Amino acid sequence: MDIKKTFEKFDDENAFIKVSTQVPVESSRKAALNRKGNQLFNEGDIEGARRVFMTTGYSDGLARVGDFYKSKDRLLEALKMYWIAPDRKKSGPLIEQLAGIMKNLLHEDEDEQENLLYEGEENVYLQDRQVENND
């Protein structure tokens, strides 16, 4: 399975990580930006902090933003932050959790298909059971 092709299918939906070349930031500027990101995070400006941490590649900050997203049940966004951080201890269980959700959704879809109604000559059937005709 080509993971890159799989992710490319969802680019327009902003559902997955877009990978690009990061512009290097000199260390003194990076430290100042990370302090600013920490300040923004502590003040509750999570999105501002996320932008700063994404720019600098500050893994601890990205993981904290991921923790915030996870606490708000924004699981895909949390996974993005953990993946970019990279924090595999946090991304691994989240991937398993999301896979379980997908598995359940697929099973629900299968159950719906099994319960489709179809019409006989005079009656309506649900699988092999007859349902009253309302005519």
* Domain residue ranges of the chain, discontinuous segments joined by +: 3-131
pLDDT per residue as tens digits for the range 58-70: 999 999 999 999 9
Q: How far out from the chain centre does Cα 39 lie?
A: 26
The strand order across the sheet containing 124-126 reads 117-119, 124-126, 129-131
Instruction: Catalogue the long-range contacts made by 69-74 (C-beta closer than 8 Å, 24 or more residues apart).
Output: 70/94
Assign domain 3-131 to a CATH class: mainly alpha
Q: What pTM value is reported for the model?
A: 0.63
pLDDT per residue as tens digits for the range 6-61: 556 555 555 555 555 666 778 889 999 999 999 999 999 999 999 999 999 999 99
Q: Is the pLDDT of residue 72 over 90?
A: yes
pLDDT of amino acid 130:
47
Residues 6+ apart with CB under 8 A from 129: none
Residues 6+ apart with CB under 8 A from 6: none
Q: Is the pLDDT of residue 78 over 50?
A: yes
